[in-house]
Amino acid sequence: MPGETKRKYIVELIRLNKLLKRPLDLIYEVLPYNYDKNTILDLFKELYPFEWETIVQRYKYYKEKDNFLKSKGKKKRYHPQKPEEYFFDLQKVKYLTSSGKKLQHKKNYDTKKQIEQLYILREKRKNSIEKKRKKIAKVKEKIQSVEPLYIDIFINEYYRKGITTEGKIEILKELQKYESEKNIKFFYKINDSEKNNQIRRIAFDHLQKIGKYVKLRKNFKGKQKNYMIEKSDFFMKPDDLYERIKNNSIQNKKVYDYFISHSLLDDEIVKNIQKSLNDLNYNVYCDWMSDNDFLKREYISEYTTLVLKKRIEQSKNILFIQTSNTTDENNNLRSPWIQMELEYAKALNKNIVCIDLLQQHKCEFEVLEYDHEKNILVI
């Protein structure tokens, strides 16, 4: 097995080397009159940032694998080169920096042509880079950049003896809502070692969508046990979540710093506020982000109300976002949902704070400042 694993590593390395040839050919066409390997590297980082990030992440990935083997008293297997060393050791880079190639470049050098081609390449790459950044940012819109304490509980539950495929999928879906170092390592581990095809694919897809270096593992060869091919559609409704919370499952272990009471019409404001709170290391509850797998709007029922009340109980503070979408000109709440949330929070003596974006009205709760220019919450 170690020999086979090492061969796969080498094949992957060869494939990566080939993928980098085209970008390096394009970079050669826009190099200045005098250049060296560092000039090529700087342009590569500028014009192909995601490819460079792949090299960096790949190094970290295999470095950690070697460190793990060493910690178990085994020999290192991969010995990955540091990113810069790997780049400079590419045959293509060595060829481009050879004395003969540099001399040929100088003989054919045309300043005007180089400037024009560099501009064209930068514009082309700028569009590609921006497109990919937006794609990743879209995926991350509902992901919180904090590490709640209960993540350890979820991970331990994943490895509990007797846990079902559905149970594992639920845990993965919950952990997908957070981005932290511990989370990323867990998803890498699942992608590497999980034998269930569906679960392993969920881990791979998540890492790939958030821009992480990851390789898709093939299905295990040989006779497959039922567990390996077992699947779950994980179709859930509000009553399923309520039962989970009530029955002391992982859903009952959650704790939030802030429960956001808001109008869905203010979704962009909510996203900005969540980011601000995450920057302060606060974990936030927002129904359409935190419980999106269960609280489907087409299945709104009494259980939706019961779930929201449970989440308020699990939250330390309630944050009411007061806008024209939540409050009318007479300062009355427009939404019965917000009315219910605030009244229930009051009954529990929860700390309620308000972001008053109406300006002409005064919120009855403690008011937090919101910077409109920077779109951030000031605490």
Q: What are the extents of the domains in the chain?
A: 2-140, 151-229, 238-378
Sign of CA dihedral 87, 137, 375, 349: negative
Residue of 341, 343, 369, 373 marked active site: 341
How far apart CA 46 and CA 256 sit, in angstroms, is: 39
1 has a pLDDT exceeding 60: no
- Residue 361 confidence class, pLDDT cut points 50, 70, 90: low
- Average pLDDT for 250-265: 96
Based on the residue annotation, tell me whether 341 is a catalytic residue of this protein: yes
Residues shown for the chain: 379
Is 238-378 assigned to CATH 3.40.50.300?
A: no
b vs e for 307-321, b when ≥16 Cβ sit within 10 Å of the residue's Cβ? Answer: bbbbbbebbebbbbb
291 has a pLDDT exceeding 70: yes
DSSP string, 215-236: -PPPPPPSSPPHHHH-------
Q: What is the pTM of this model?
A: 0.88
pLDDT in tens, 14-69: 999 999 999 999 999 999 999 999 999 999 999 999 999 999 999 999 999 999 99
